[in-house]
Amino acid sequence: MRQVMKARFKYRIYPTPGQKYRLSKLFGCVRVVWNDSLVYCQNRYKSGEKKSSNSELQKLFITQAKKTEEREWLSEVSNIPLQQSLNDLNQAYQNFFKSTKGQQKGKPIKPPKFKSRKSKQTARFTKGGFKVGQHKV
């Protein structure tokens, strides 16, 4: 089995007021996509339906949601963090189900929770989703 090393970078940034506004918009969009898809997944689980695929969730909560009047503002941010949010939700569910079946070592893992404005605000980009310049990202 081959091990893959993943690189992770943490940067401290000092955004301007305009950048703060755009970042808060990004964080809000990521949170809404996560919460909307979590409600959907919880309802499917309660009704005994099987878990939705990641591509199905992306279609429903990113692609189709952007076409609705109440979620058209999702188009104002990059797709990559929105997709990564759904990937993270999928991973959270996989970890939870592995834990309930005893396939995961350590303490039992709780099911995914809703994100709030007060919790830590995050957005994840893939390697090709951003560029780091001299004084800007």
Give the amino acid at 101. Answer: K
The mean of the pLDDT values for the chain is 87
- How do the residues of the chain divide into helix, strand and coil, expressed in percent and rounded to 5? 55, 0, 45
CB 88 within 8 A of CB 115: no
Helices marked H in the chain — which ranges? 17-46, 54-58, 64-66, 79-100
CA dihedral 97, 113, 130, 17 (to 10 degrees): -170
**Confidence band, pLDDT 50/70/90 cuts, at residue 65:** very high
What is the distance between the alpha carbons of residues 15 and 114, in angstroms, rounded to a whole number?
A: 27
**Confidence band, pLDDT 50/70/90 cuts, at residue 51:** confident
Q: What is the pTM of this model?
A: 0.82
pLDDT at 113 exceeding the cut of 70: yes
What is the distance between the alpha carbons of residues 35 and 61, in angstroms, rounded to a whole number?
A: 10
pLDDT at 18 exceeding the cut of 80: yes
Q: Where are the domains of the chain?
A: 17-111
